[in-house]
Amino acid sequence: MRDGKATRTERSGRGRVLLPGGLLALALACGTLSGLLAVPDDCPDALITADVKSRILAKHPVAGLKINVETDQCVVTLKGCAESPEVARSAVKAARKVKKVKAVKNEMSSCPKE
């Protein structure tokens, strides 16, 4: 503002003050506007769970139904019954292949086939 008059960059056609793009980028980088904007989820637990479960079911359609998959902060926990040690190893291997998985906990027990 010079001599009480706003310059063209300081006001829009409707009289609102415009911020240069650099200030908006700075505000976003500092987290000032983070509560106002949707921030991408760095750890999509629900998507990881769905991907792991679908990979297990693709390899073991029947045995995979007895394996529960839980994800918390990108750590996958496998629970339930594994019909054999091979099924358990395969489930852990499938979970480790999913993107963004940080760790896999194997809490499965061995259960005989029905």
CATH of the domain at 59: 3.30.300.130
pLDDT over 50 at 71, yes or no: yes
Residues 22 and 70 in one domain: no
Residues 94 and 57 in one domain: yes
Same domain, 56 and 71: yes
> If pLDDT is split at 50, 70 and 90, which confidence band does 113 have?
confident
- 64, with CB counted inside 10 A (0-12, 13-18, 19+), is buried
pTM of the model: 0.64
Q: Does 52 share its domain with 96?
A: yes
> Could you tell me if 78 and 105 are in contact, meaning their C-beta atoms sit under 8 angstroms apart?
yes
Domain that includes residue 90, residue range: 45-110
Give the number of domains in the chain. Answer: 2
Tell me how far apart the alpha carbons of residues 12 and 60 are, in angstroms, rounded to a whole number: 62
| Statement to judge: residues 12 and 49 lie in one domain | no
Of the pLDDT bands very low, low, confident and very high (cuts 50, 70, 90), residue 112 is: confident
| Residue predicted with more confidence, 3 or 77 | 77
